[in-house]
Amino acid sequence: MIIVMKDGATKEQIQHVLDRIHAVGYKSHPIYGTDKTVIGAIGDERSRANPEQFQTIDGVEDVMRILKPFKLAGKELRKAPSVIDLGDGVKIGEGYFTVMAGPCSVESEKQLLEIAHEVKKCGATVLRGGAFKPRTSPYAFQGLEEEGLKILAKARSETGLKLVTEVIQPKDVELCANYVDILQIGARNTQNFALLREVGKTKKAVLLKRGMATTIQELLMSAEYILSEGNPNVILCERGIRTFETATRNTMDIAAVPVLKKLTHLPVITDPSHAGGSWDLVKPLSKASLSAGADGVIVEVHNKPEEAMSDGAQSLKPSKFADLMQVLKKMAEIEGKKI
């Protein structure tokens, strides 16, 4: 439920409401505004808590039920778009178009540092690189693990780029969080609820990719798992879904961007590399994403795609990435967004 406090409600009155919320077994999610304080009360639907018992508390102006199943991700509780601040001027959300770029996998220190400097020069603000790689085949390259994380950290120290990497097991969350700025939940783990709860216990930003057969509501409910653990820093990512079409690796659901923007306050980005599966589709899909209202893209860049240990076919060479950035900067200016 949503509890709206009156203008000028005292700290004591607000605290009394918070205490009452906790007493009935709910979690409180206060949003302190300039004039009003709004408190979300989220908990087990089987609880006997009801709006009437809060309506008579001093300082309470109104109490409303949250109708949508995604209580914290939806706009009923928080109408203003969330902007995630990674520090050093890097922000993800309304008014910004954030470009995350880098190789699918961290293969070596030389490879990653070279690519990091290239994407930084072109205007990217976040470096992507997989240290742990969930692969369809057990015989495929699985990543350098902690050594890969150390290489990512070195790239950040040299370039100032923020870092995003995928975490695939709950036991690795703390390790990855010690090295990177954004924890990525991949498409195969969108509904790995144990993993979602674990990243929710951190305060790190979480990039939540849509599963290949996940509906928009299911994606938002996965975000709800993270938010309900107290971590508000969730970024949603449309990365293409599995359909009957075989011309592309996945089918980019571009309509998901404006639909999500209508349903949630969370930032929304896209992954044109995994959606298209071919380097020549990255540019048009990135342009479409920006036009559709996305808050950014995450793209794969490799200095030698033909030698890449994973996803070489969908990786842009640095020169192609530079061309893409020039186009996106012009489009972002028209849309009133900062890159």
Say whether both 55 and 109 belong to one domain: no
Say whether both 143 and 196 belong to one domain: yes
Beta pairing partners, 206 = 183, 234
Phi first, then psi: give them for residue 189, nearest 5 degrees.
-115, 15
| Residue 47, domain extent | 2-64
Residue 43 confidence (pLDDT): 82
Task: Name which of 222, 291, 214 is nearest 258 in CA terms.
Answer: 291
Residue 174 confidence (pLDDT): 97
Q: Give kind and range of the element (H or E) at residue 64.
A: strand 60-64
Say whether both 97 and 238 belong to one domain: yes
Residue 159 confidence (pLDDT): 98
Say whether both 32 and 165 belong to one domain: no
The verdict on residue 75 lying in a domain is no
| 8 A C-beta contact, residue 14 and residue 70 | no
Strand 27-32 to 37-42 pairing: antiparallel
Say whether both 154 and 9 belong to one domain: no
| Final residue before a domain boundary, out of 31, 64, 97 | 64
Hunting for tokens 């240290």 — which residue is that?
A: 131
Say whether both 52 and 89 belong to one domain: no
Beta pairing partners, 301 = 316
- What are the tokens at 309? 């240990």
The verdict on residue 239 lying in a domain is yes
The verdict on residue 104 lying in a domain is yes
CATH code of 317's domain: 3.20.20.70
Among left, alpha and beta (phi > 0; psi -120 to 50; other), residue 89 is left
Question: In 3-state terms, what secondary structure has residue 167?
Answer: coil
Say whether both 179 and 250 belong to one domain: yes
The verdict on residue 77 lying in a domain is no
Q: Give kind and range of the element (H or E) at residue 92.
A: strand 90-92
Strands annotated E in 189-295: 205-209, 234-238, 268-270
125 exposure class (CB count in 10 Å sphere: 0-12, 13-18, 19+) = buried
- What are the tokens at 183? 């924890």
**How wide is the angle at C-alpha 194 spanned by C-alphas 189 and 195, nearest 5°?**
50
Euclidean distance between CA atoms 50 and 172, whole angstroms: 39
Q: Give kind and range of the element (H or E) at residue 297.
A: strand 296-300
- What are the tokens at 19? 């205490």
Residue 223 confidence (pLDDT): 98
Domains in the chain, number: 2
Say whether both 276 and 326 belong to one domain: yes
Other Cβ atoms within 10 Å of 294 Cβ, number: 27
The verdict on residue 70 lying in a domain is no
Say whether both 158 and 212 belong to one domain: yes
Going residue by residue through the chain (339 aa), what tens digit of pLDDT does each one get? 899 999 989 999 999 999 999 988 888 989 887 778 999 888 876 666 677 889 889 999 999 888 888 999 999 989 899 999 999 999 999 999 999 999 999 999 999 999 999 999 999 999 999 999 776 777 677 779 999 999 999 999 999 999 999 999 999 999 999 999 999 999 999 999 999 999 999 999 999 999 999 999 999 999 999 999 999 999 999 999 999 999 999 999 999 999 999 999 999 999 999 999 999 999 999 999 999 999 999 999 999 999 999 999 999 999 999 999 999 999 999 999 999
Phi first, then psi: give them for residue 20, nearest 5 degrees.
-70, -40
Say whether both 267 and 297 belong to one domain: yes
- What are the tokens at 50? 């009801």
- What are the tokens at 300? 């794969």
| 8 A C-beta contact, residue 126 and residue 303 | no
Say whether both 47 and 141 belong to one domain: no
**Per-position b or e across 155-178, b if 16+ CB within 10 A of its CB:** bbeebebbbbbbbbeeebbebbbe
The verdict on residue 274 lying in a domain is yes
Report pTM: 0.91
The verdict on residue 73 lying in a domain is no
CATH code of 10's domain: 3.30.70.1140
Residue 48 confidence (pLDDT): 60
| 8 A C-beta contact, residue 187 and residue 164 | no
The verdict on residue 78 lying in a domain is no
Say whether both 88 and 59 belong to one domain: no
